[in-house]
A and B are shown apart, each in its own frame.
Chain A
Amino acid sequence: MSFGPVGVIGAGVMGVGVAQDLAQTGHRVILIDMTDEILEAARRQLTKHVRFHHLVKRDAERQDVAEVIERIRFSRDYGLLAGADFVIENVTEDWDLKQSVYRDLDGICSPECPFAANTSAIPISRIAAATDRASRVLGMHFMNPVPLKPAVEVIRGRHTSDATIEEAEALLTRMGKEAIIVNDSPGFVSNRVLMLTINESVSILHEGVATAETIDAIFKRCFAHEMGPLETADLIGLDTVLQTLRVLSDAVSGSKYWPCPLLESMVDSGLLGRKSGQGFYRYEGGEPLPAG
């Protein structure tokens, strides 16, 4: 059975990871972003990650890099999505921007094409309401690095149909992934819990209870987590963490998700984590060092 192309909106870290995973599992991909510079950077990043894939993923077979990359069409033209069988949207967590993207998609894509929002906190039912196809809209919360993560948090919005969930599960199965399905809620399961953990860890650091290394060591060495909450925050990007906390704060009454002032001041100062070279740790050649 053959499948039509999958539209991937946004060629940032997540969009590139989703496009790579799709192309490596035999799907044709239309990868859309706003500028040629971003698309060119995405092509370089994809080429590198596909070249390295068999070394970083256990049991992965070596693939022909050119063949994988050829399955991806890099473009600024949303019009190409008229031929897409499934769309996965990965634009930044800015509601105004997302809303306008969904309005555009709704007018271009076939009425049956499912839209999956790869969002970490924006309620799926709100996204669905920006379209005329609420039953075809769902959430697919991928984790980074996408091609190496075996499961995806799939979110059923208030109006999402069973058929849409089944199609999403089928796509993820073809990508070698398990769908873990939850109902819609701000932050779903993952970020509702994770963002509280990160925010509280920042408060603990701010109060001088423990250093970043010590906080992370508790999670890594006592709980056997792969990474601690502050390393995770650096990986996600502190601006994204702050933005997610604000989205959650707006959606939930009370002060539970109010961002720690230290987090706000770090973002204001341009300390965004790995991508800026410094967050709770300094990064040289990609590796975390004490921020000092």
Chain B
Amino acid sequence: METDDIRPRLREFCSVRAPGLADEDEIFEVGDVNSLFAIELLTFVEEAFGITLEDEDLEKKNFSSISAMAALVERKLNA
């Protein structure tokens, strides 16, 4: 997995349910209405990048935006 691929894949995944979401936009600020999307997003992050999210990774700040998730995935892949 090239780190350059991380952002485009996250953007593509988010683009259908949250069209127009910019890299820095707060994903979880939309509330419970997109709850199903949130579960799918977390599952996608684990499966698409072949990483296991540990307890310490499961902090809102790591999933607050596309940029935050890309940084987390990059950290996990380089760990």
Contact = CB atoms under 8 A, between A and B. Distances in A.
Given A58-B31, A226-B33, A286-B44, A49 B58 contact: no
A285 B48 contact: yes
Given A54-B58, A286-B44, A287-B16, A49 B39 contact: yes
A285 B35 contact: no
Contact of B36 (A51, A65, A235, A289): A235
A208 to B, nearest CB: 24
A4 interface: no
A148 interface: yes
Interface string B26-61: 001001111111111011100110000101001010
A235 to B, nearest CB: 7
A52 B42 contact: yes
A256 interface: no
Nearest to B46: A48
A234 B47 CA distance: 22
A83 interface: no
Interface of B is mostly: helix
A285 B33 contact: no
B58 A288 contact: no
Given A58-B32, A226-B33, A288-B16, A52 B38 contact: yes
Which interface class (under 10, 10 to 19, 20 to 34, 35 or more) fits B?
20 to 34
Given A51-B58, A52-B58, A55-B63, A145 B39 contact: yes
Contacts of B36: 144-145, 148, 235
Contacts, number: 54
Given A51-B58, A57-B35, A287 B17 contact: yes
Interface band, chain A:
20 to 34
Nearest to A226: B33
A55 B42 contact: yes
Given A51-B58, A52-B58, A55-B60, A287 B32 contact: no
B31 A52 contact: no
A56 interface: yes
Given A58-B31, A148-B35, A235-B36, A285 B13 contact: yes
A48 B35 contact: no
Interface in A3-32: none
Nearest to A52: B42
A289 B16 contact: yes
Interface of A: 48-49, 51-52, 54-58, 62, 65, 144-145, 148, 226, 235, 285-289
Interface of B: 13, 16-17, 28, 31-40, 42-44, 47-48, 53, 55, 58, 60, 63
30 contacts: A51-B53, A51-B55, A52-B38, A52-B39, A52-B58, A54-B58, A55-B28, A55-B38, A55-B58, A55-B60, A56-B35, A56-B38, A56-B39, A58-B32, A62-B58, A65-B55, A145-B36, A148-B35, A148-B36, A226-B33, A226-B34, A235-B36, A285-B13, A285-B40, A285-B44, A285-B47, A286-B40, A286-B44, A287-B44, A289-B16
